[in-house]
Amino acid sequence: MKKSGIIGAVAVVIVITTFFIWYFNTASGQRTVKSWQSNNSGGIERIVKVYSNDGKLIEQYEGKIDIQDTEYGNKVLFDLNGKRVVIYNATVVTEEK
């Protein structure tokens, strides 16, 4: 391989590595890592609070939870202790422990 080809390959590796280091040090990159952790480990230890439309606490869940919401925002679902929980048309607040 020519010297210029090796230099070009090294330059590409440096640019890609720099991009990944930069990206994963941004808030967006850190959220991505947290999502990967949640997806690959069955969830994150969380507290999930469900409120009615008038602000009253309806239910609270605690445990290792991986939250999935829908595109339209009217449904949230997760599995907890082997059971599926589906919440429609409520305010849901999740907090990592």
Q: At which residue do the structure tokens 């890609």 appear?
A: 16
Task: State the number of CA atoms in the 13 A half-sphere of 48 facing the CB.
Answer: 23
Residue whose C-alpha is closest to residue 91's, from 54, 63, 65, 66:
54
Q: pTM of the full predicted structure? A: 0.65
Give the largest CA-CA distance in the chain.
71
Quick: pLDDT tens for 37-63. 877 877 889 999 999 989 999 999 999
Quick: pLDDT tens for 5-43. 888 888 899 989 998 888 878 888 888 887 778 778 778
